Amino acid sequence: MSLVQRNRIKRALLSLGAIAVVYGIAAEIGRWVLPHRIWMDVHYIDNVELLPTYESLAEELAFLIQSWILPSSILVSTGRILAGFLLGSVVGIVVGLATGRAARLEYVADPWTTLLRFTPALALLPLYVIWFGYGEASKILLIATSVAVVAMLGAHQAVRGVPQVYLDAARALGASPRLIFRKIVLPAAFPQIFASLRVALALAWVTIVVAELIDAKMPSLGYLLALAGAYPRVPQMLIGLATIGALVFLSDMLALSLHAKVTRWMRRTG
């Protein structure tokens, strides 16, 4: 590990540590200074910790894990994301590849994609609930839709963006259009498709959280937040937020390392 990298890690740890310390202090101060009673639309609620101390956070975390509430929520939400993401990315990539390849198809698909592109995914939720009921299907399909739109755009642009030199060289070597698509277009387009999938993943997380907030049912991370907001129980809320943040971060790191591995041929070493 080089000096630069070590410094970088040191500084990262320093600033994160500083934040943690500052929060701890703020929470302690807040215990005395912040109001304990807040107005919730129709009545007052007592005993609210607006900035929970590490103590109460730890307590709450222990409770949530032991009662299996947190782990099951994580599993359910992650499961939905996985299902929606897989479905959406496959459909999106296939359609995007097709429209990238055949200009005529693009013409047909264009109004659809524009419509879907500029519709915030969340706005589709009420429609999906009407069509598919309140169950899993509507949520998974919502995620799939938003992922598919991003993936489709990414695949389309990736196919269109393959440098002409490669296509010309392949044609000059006598390759058939099918061979060109398989061995030239797809590999060349892959990095960009992967990048758009990363974006789609982040979008999927945003979508699922709100969808679960709106249609709050146990067990799910969104429900956890909604419940915590209804009581209100702030330690639970913060833990819920931190959990979501951690999951988003982890999934992004995973996507990033996968991307790096798959595009090894792109980076110049020589």
Partner 1 sequence: MSSLIVLALAYTLLSNASRFIDVDQLPDPLRSTLRPDVLPPTQALVQAIVDLVRGPEKQPPPDEPAHMHHHVHTSDHVGVLLQQGVTLQTSLLITTGRVLFGMVVGAPLGILIGLLIGLSRRVDDYVHPIYVLVRSIPPLALITYIMLWLGHTEAHRLIPIVYAVATTMVIPTYHGVRDLASTYLVAARSLGARGWLLLRRVLLPAAGPAVLSGLRYALAIAWMTAVGSEMLMADNGMGNLIVGGGMWASRFQTRSDPAVVMVGILALAAAGWLMDSGARLLTIRLTRWAR
Partner 2 sequence: MSTDAPRMRLEAADVGYTYPGQPPTRALDSLTVSIADNEFVALLGPVGCGKTTLLRIFAGFLTPTQGVVRCDGASVDGPSWQRGYVLQESAIFPWMSVRENLEFGLLAKGMEPEARRAVSDELLRLLGLSGFEAAYPKQLSSGMSKMVEVARVLATDPSMLLLDEPFGALDAQTRARMQDELARLWEQRRKTVVFVTHDVEEALYLADRIVVLTARPGRVQQQLKVALARPRPLETRFAPEFSALKRQVWESLRS
Residues found near partner 1 in the complex (CB under 8 A): 7-8, 11-12, 14-16, 19, 38-39, 41, 48, 50, 107-108, 110-112, 114-127, 129-131, 205-206, 209-210, 213-215, 222, 225-226, 228-229, 232, 234, 237-238, 240-242, 244-246, 248-249, 252
Residue 29 or 127: which CB sits closer to partner 1? 127
228 and 236 Cβ atoms separated by less than 8 Å: yes
Half-sphere exposure of 207 toward its Cβ, with a 13 Å CA cutoff?
28
Q: Which does 126 bind (CB under 5 to 8 A by kind): partner 1, partner 2, none?
A: partner 1
Angle between helices 124-132 and 136-160 (to 10 degrees): 130
Positive or negative, the CA dihedral 58, 60, 65, 66 is positive
Q: How far apart are the C-alpha atoms of 56 and 228, rounded to whole Å? A: 14
Task: Output the smallest distance, CB 176 to partner 1, in A.
Answer: 31
Helix (H) or strand (E) holding 130: helix 124-132
Q: Assess 269 for contact with partner 2 (CB under 8 A).
A: yes
Q: Which does 188 bind (CB under 5 to 8 A by kind): partner 2, partner 1, none?
A: partner 2
Task: Output the smallest distance, CB 172 to partner 2, in A.
Answer: 4
Give the contacts of 199 (CB within 8 A, at least 6 positions apart): 150, 154
Which residue in the set 187, 218, 250, 257 belongs to the binding site for partner 2 (CB under 8 A)? 187
Residue 165 DSSP SS3: helix
Residue 32 or 44: which CB sits closer to partner 1? 44
Residue 31 or 160: which CB sits closer to partner 2? 160
Where do we find the tokens 């988003």? Answer: 248
Q: How far apart are the C-alpha atoms of 228 and 105, rounded to whole Å? A: 48
Q: Which does 182 bind (CB under 5 to 8 A by kind): partner 2, partner 1, none?
A: none
Residues that bind partner 2 (CB under 8 A): 165-166, 168-176, 179, 183-184, 187-188, 190, 264-270
